[in-house]
Chain A
Amino acid sequence: MADTHAPATGVTPADPHAISHEDAHHIAKHRNGYLMVGGLLLLFTAITVWLSYVDFGSQNANIVVAMIVATFKASLVAAIFMHLKGERPTIWRFLFFTAIFVAGLFLLTWLHEADPITGTLKAVR
Chain B
Amino acid sequence: MEIPYNVSARPDTGLYNAKLGIWLFLASEVMLFGGLFSAYVFLRLGAEPGYWPHGLLNVPVGTFNTAVLIISSVTVVFAWAALKMRQFFQYKLFMAITILCGVLFLVIKLAYEWPDKFNHFGIFISKGAAAEYEKYLGNEHLAELRHAPRYEISGHLLDAPKGSPYEEVARKNAEHFRHELHEKGIHAEHEPVVQTDDPNDYVIQLDAANAEAHTPEGIKEGSKPHFWPRERSMETAVIKAADVDSASTFAPRHSSYFSSYFLITGLHGLHVLGGIIVFVYFWLPISGGANLYKRNPEHLANRVEVAGLFWHFVDLVWIFVFPIFYLL
Which residues does A use to contact B, with CB under 8 Å?
Answer: 1-4, 6-13, 16-17, 19, 23-24, 27-28, 30-31, 34-35, 37-38, 41-42, 45-46, 48-49, 52-53, 59, 62-63, 66-67, 69-70, 73-74, 77-78, 81-82, 88, 90-91, 94-95, 97-98, 101-102, 105-106, 108-110, 112-113
Contacts and interface: CB of A to CB of B under 8 A. Distances in A.
A42 B70 CA distance: 7
Which residue among B8, B13, B39, B296 has the maximum number of chain A CB atoms within 10 Å of its CB?
A: B8
A17 B70 contact: no
Given A8-B11, A28-B85, 5 more contacts: A6-B8, A24-B86, A27-B85, A31-B81, A109-B42
Given A3-B8, A48-B327, A90-B13, A98 B296 contact: no
Interface stretch (B28-36, B189-197, B229-237): B28-36
A49 B63 contact: yes
B316 A74 contact: yes
Contacts of A82: 309, 312-313
B78 interface: yes
A53 B228 CA distance: 12
Q: Would you list the 5 A-B pairs with minimal beta carbon distance, nearest first?
A: A10-B4, A38-B74, A52-B327, A10-B5, A109-B38
B15 A52 contact: no
Contacts of A90: 13-15, 20
Nearest to B4: A10
A12 B85 contact: no
Contacts of A91: 15, 19-20, 23
A77 B328 contact: no
B15 A34 contact: no
B41 A98 contact: no
Interface of B: 2, 4-11, 13-15, 19-20, 23-24, 27, 30-31, 34-35, 38-39, 41-42, 45-46, 59, 63, 66-67, 70-71, 73-74, 77-78, 81, 84-86, 224, 227, 295-299, 308-309, 312-313, 315-316, 319-320, 322-324, 327-328
A70 B325 CA distance: 13
A102 B328 CA distance: 23
Contacts of A23: 84-85
Contacts of A49: 59, 63, 227, 327
A81 to B, nearest CB: 5
B10 A10 contact: yes
Contacts of B74: 34-35, 37-38, 81
